[in-house]
Amino acid sequence: MSQFVDRPLSALLVIDVQVGVVHDAWHRDEVVANIAQVVEHARATHIPVIWVQHSDDWMAIGSDNWAIVPELSPIENETTIHKNYCSSFEVTNLEEVLTDINVGHLVICGAQTNNCVRHTIHAALERGYDITLVEDAHTTSDGDWDNGTLRAADIIDDQNRSCAGYQLPGRSASLITTGDLVGIH
């Protein structure tokens, strides 16, 4: 149970599934299809869907790179959070949105696993939220670090491992597959 005992509801946070973010992401089409299933399930079960869009110099608001991928379409009553930092909470109104709709638990999917997904997970836990990471509905791209290559698959596996059973006082992180979440086996 989250630290918000008076906020029993869940929300789906779809982080940075934008054209310029996922263009070369690991298993892009499969992961975006999983995210689409998760979004449809949330809508069907009346769980609020909150979209997060990152912007910076190479991905300006309104540009083609900034747009949500064409396979996903926010609907009119869904909230969109615009951010400039890796954490979806930093200098945004996400906290106020979650408070207004009584959310204490976040289901998280999106991109980039090792950046905005990871930082949002930690920020949520540190603020008192429970989180569930949809383990096959987040992605990233290969990267370079310390004269070596970080494989996207390894980054994703590492994030999934770090969420499995992670706990802080009064809140926790867990994992679920798309199939288990939406009831497809």
Its domain, for residue 87, covers: 9-182
**Two tokens, residue 130:** 């429970």
Count of the separate structural domains present in the chain = 1
1 part of a folded domain? no
Q: What is the tens place of the pLDDT at every residue in 123-140?
A: 999 999 999 999 999 999
- pTM, to two decimals: 0.96
The list of the chain residues with pLDDT below 70 reads 1, 185
CATH assignment of the domain containing 160? 3.40.50.850
176 part of a folded domain? yes
4 part of a folded domain? no
Q: What is the tens place of the pLDDT at every residue in 20-53?
A: 999 999 999 999 999 999 999 999 999 999 999 9
18 part of a folded domain? yes
114 part of a folded domain? yes
